[in-house]
Structure 1
Amino acid sequence: MSYTPTEPATLSPAPSAPVLDEHARGWRKKLLQTGLVLAVILIASWYVGLLDFKTLANGMPAIGVLLGESLPPDFTNVMNWVSPLVDTLAMSIAGTAIAVAASVPLAFLAARNTSPHPAVFHITRTILNGLRSVPELIMGIIFVAAVGFGALPGVLALGLHSIGMVGKFFAEAIEHVDEAPVEAADAAGATRLQVLWHAVLPQVLPQFADVSIYRWEYNFRASTVMGMVGAGGIGFELMGSLRIMQYQEVSAILIVILLMVTIVDSLSGFLRKKFK
């Protein structure tokens, strides 16, 4: 019987060196990027004095004294804060309503896939950038000087600043819609307005609702600061107590604000679940 030798079994090839080198380069790039970010953070922290531990340590006794003067909280005038709290809540609701109403049409003009012309897109984006580049506190000071003290300047400041943020988020939501319904509506002969109404708007409504509720939550907190520049609300009461150094009353007002923020946060979470 003749014997025919068989060929030796071939081994699977080892991973090629270029693949390993590319993997190593990827890790080195990530480490370099992380190092650069940490370096920027450290430089910024040093520049603003956050790493000056001696100054921080010297300030701790003063903070302790201030906290001691704030205790116990003085709720003697708590009933006088009910109306300013209502003003604060009303400011946040009205300011958010203005922002949402103005942001919906602006968002369609500022989205690349729904803007009628590139010039309109860039102009609208510039308007949104300009509105959110000015802090609401600065707007509040301007409107207080223009229309006087009260809740109205706070509403206008919160509303205009919120248009810049809400409009940006709305536009980004529109840009990420599924194009299949849009193409189907176009193929069916729908007009441009019908396409937006039936193919785009239903897709973005949940995101619109979520952004609107979140912005209302933010505006309630911001409206407490608006009161410090004369725009009414509980912030005005807080500033008044600070000026006369009634720190026990200040701590009481802060506790009330904390409770209201907690309630608003819980309510906004409930609303977000309802709109999902």
Structure 2
Amino acid sequence: MSTHYDVQALPAEQREHILRGFGLGWWRQLGQVAIVFGVVLLACWYVGLLDATTLLNGLPSIATLAGEAMPPDFSGYRSWIRPLIDTLAMSIAGTAIAVVFSLVVAFVAARYTAPHPLVFGVARVLLNALRSVPELIMGIIFVAAVGFGALPGVLALGLHSVGMVSKFFAEAIEHVDEAPVEAARAAGASPMQVLLHAVLPQVTPQFADVAIYRWEYNFRASTVMG
């Protein structure tokens, strides 16, 4: 049942304080929106997105390229089969590596399941570092380490994916409903039982969504890595 408060029934000083707070909050939000809009507008101007002349002059070239690309030429499709298999295998293997490692790292990088705040901080810094290095750079490093082939691409995709997948897994863990967790603890469940029966059932759908999305990303990235 909702409770309604009569602001007019409050003392004048308290009522004025509440109304002043609403006003300041509105102006603060308006200022934040203005700052974000200004930054976006400045970025668009800096990269030339606001230069209508350049954009309009490029339309004929885009139309020419689109016309030359149609219809597509499938005469050499036989030469695509092996690279397509390599791309598919690299994306699947890289995503599998990322998901397996992330299932462990995520619980260390989640605020409520990390064994110690220091471990939590180190895990988050490590994940940020993994996300900051492009998979192409990682691929070059692994080529120097293990040689040419699909393996360096798989390792690069997997390691880079751990940074993103673990972060989203950890965020999902931190936003679980506490009611089932508290109920399991009150029933005398061990930490592992709480994890298996109260946490994992809640985060499994999010884990699956993140894994599928990352596989789509890795499939695109593997076309370059391959």
TM-aligned CA distance change 1:70 to 1:178, over 3 Å: closer
Deviations 1:10-53 (A, max 9, x none): xxx69988365554444433332222211111111111222233
TM-aligned CA distance change 1:22 to 1:187, over 3 Å: closer
CA–CA distance in 1 between the matches of 2:196 and 2:9?
57
User: Are 1:87 and 2:86 matched, yes or no?
Assistant: yes
Q: Which residue identity is paired with 2:129? A: G
Q: Which residue number in structure 2 is paired with residue 168 of structure 1? A: 167
Q: TM-score, normalised by structure 1?
A: 0.69
Q: Which residue number in structure 2 is paired with residue 234 of structure 1? A: none
CA–CA distance in 2 between the matches of 1:31 and 1:176?
29
Q: Which residue number in structure 2 is paired with residue 221 of structure 1? A: 220
1:66 Cα deviation after fit: 3.7
Q: Which residue number in structure 2 is paired with residue 135 of structure 1? A: 134
Over alpha carbons, which structure has the higher Rg? 1
Q: Which residue identity is paired with 1:53? A: A
User: Are 1:208 and 2:207 matched, yes or no?
Assistant: yes
Deviations 1:73-110 (A, max 9, x none): 22110122122112211111111110100001111111
Q: Which residue number in structure 2 is paired with residue 158 of structure 1? A: 157
Report percent identity of matched pairs.
69
1:203 Cα deviation after fit: 2.0
CA–CA distance in 2 between the matches of 1:77 and 1:162?
33
Q: Which residue identity is paired with 2:133? A: V
Unaligned regions of 5+ residues in structure 2, if any?
1-7
Q: TM-score, normalised by structure 2?
A: 0.82
Deviations 1:95-153 (A, max 9, x none): 11101000011111111111111111111111111111112222223223333332222
Q: Which residue number in structure 2 is paired with residue 263 of structure 1? A: none
What does residue range 62-211 of structure 1 map to in structure 2 within 5 Å? 62-211=61-210
- Partner SS for 1:190: coil
Q: Which residue number in structure 1 is paired with residue 31 of structure 2? A: 32
Instruction: Tell me how large the CA RMSD over aligned residues is.
Output: 2.6
Q: Which residue identity is paired with 1:99? A: A
CA–CA distance in 1 between the matches of 2:124 and 2:44?
33
CA–CA distance in 1 between the matches of 2:90 and 2:176?
32
CA–CA distance in 1 between the matches of 2:112 and 2:171?
10
Aligned residues: 216
CA–CA distance in 2 between the matches of 1:122 and 1:14?
49
1:194 Cα deviation after fit: 2.8
Unaligned regions of 5+ residues in structure 1, if any?
1-12, 232-276
CA–CA distance in 2 between the matches of 1:146 and 1:56?
44
TM-aligned CA distance change 1:48 to 1:86, over 3 Å: same
Q: Which residue number in structure 2 is paired with residue 240 of structure 1? A: none
1:59 Cα deviation after fit: 3.8
- Partner SS for 2:112: coil
Q: Which residue number in structure 2 is paired with residue 259 of structure 1? A: none
- Partner SS for 2:55: helix
Deviations 1:242-275 (A, max 9, x none): xxxxxxxxxxxxxxxxxxxxxxxxxxxxxxxxxx
Q: Which moved more, 1:117-126 or 1:133-142?
A: 133-142
